[in-house]
A = this chain, B = another copy of it.
Amino acid sequence: MSTDRHPYRNALRADRPDTVVHVGPARVAIGGDSVALIAGPCAVEDRDQLLGIARGLRSQGVQLLRGGAFKPRTSPHSFQGLGREGLEILAEARDLTGMGIVTEVLSPEEVPLVAAYADVLQVGTRNMANYRLLQAVGATDMPVLLKRGMASTIEELLCAAEYILAAGNPNVILCERGVRSFEPLVRSAFDLNVIPLLRHLTHLPVIVDPSHAAGRSDLVHGVSLGAVAAGAHGLIVEVHDDPAAALVDGAQSLDLEQAAALADGVDAVARATGRKLGRTRSTVAA
């Protein structure tokens, strides 16, 4: 009674064209020939912080905003996020800037709440094999950003996507964020092989989180350019207006100036491989 057919038959490339997932008010494309940039702070800390970062990114042409309201933290005694209040702040940022909102959901029961505010439901690395959560986001029709588990194999990642696809939701975006490593100087090992490998194995879009992969802001630029050159469909990057004061993950956050330089560098590499970075060129009124 083991699997009688392919274990991730819906995610399998076969001869299918690339899936393109459209996100947010502006229907930003993730997948295919576009390169997408999602940026923002690790955690929503307060209204001023989030709106300031959102405006700054929006003025650079960034179209998609990340920010955590429910934060899965290793210790129960660490800051756990603002919860519903964080979601409301994110929704206000969307209203102000037109950016699409990417935020994490932690359990099946919280899917309706988060879905009411977000444009993309993020399933974090700790929950990649939380199959009840995958089934719950699979029962919606919303875009899902599925992060690879901290030491999952590629087959396990694709099978996790399969749980969502098999539940009826085709809008899955895979996200590589590095795996456990023995190297003390970085947070994770980001095996670049994974990008062309996933491009061969599946039709789903594949983006990279260089902030968690590296765990240090000084590596994010190089890693981002490399990921895109290798074929990634986009990046999700931590950006903070004041990384040194961030409540979570400050050491791996870019500041707004570094974010602007990153977007330019990524666009140049995307063009060298026949694509370009999706950006909104008009400045934002807000």
Residue numbers of A with Cβ under 8 A of B are 1-5, 7-9, 72-79, 106-110, 126-127, 129-133, 149-156, 159, 162-163, 166-167, 178-186, 188-197, 199-200, 213-214, 218-219, 221-223, 225-231, 247, 265, 268-269, 271-273
Q: In the complex the two chains form, what is the Cα distance from A190 to B73 in whole Å? A: 26
Note all chain B residues with C-beta closer than 8 A to A74.
7, 129, 155-156, 159
Residue of B nearest to A218 (CB): B200
A sample of 23 inter-chain contacts (CB < 8 A) reads A1-B78, A1-B247, A3-B75, A3-B77, A5-B77, A7-B74, A7-B77, A72-B129, A76-B163, A107-B130, A126-B129, A126-B131, A149-B150, A155-B185, A181-B191, A186-B193, A192-B192, A199-B222, A200-B218, A225-B229, A225-B230, A226-B231, A268-B273
Question: Cβ of A192: which chain B residues have Cβ within 8 Å of it?
Answer: 190-192, 213, 222-223, 226-227
Q: Would A180 and B151 count as touching, CB distance under 8 A?
A: yes
Copies per assembly? 4
Which residues on B sit within 8 Å (CB–CB) of A76? Answer: 131, 159, 162-163, 166-167
Is there an interface contact between A106 and B77, defined as CB atoms closer than 8 Å?
no
Residue of B nearest to A213 (CB): B193
Q: How far is the CA of A72 from the CA of B129 in the complex (A)?
A: 8
Given A186-B191, A195-B222: 19 more A-B contacts, CB < 8 Å: A1-B79, A2-B78, A4-B77, A5-B77, A9-B77, A75-B159, A106-B131, A106-B132, A107-B132, A126-B129, A181-B182, A182-B182, A189-B189, A190-B191, A190-B192, A196-B223, A222-B231, A269-B269, A269-B272
| Interfacial chain B residues near A199, Cβ < 8 Å | 222
| Given known A108-B109, A227-B226, contact A75–B7 (CB-CB < 8 A) | yes
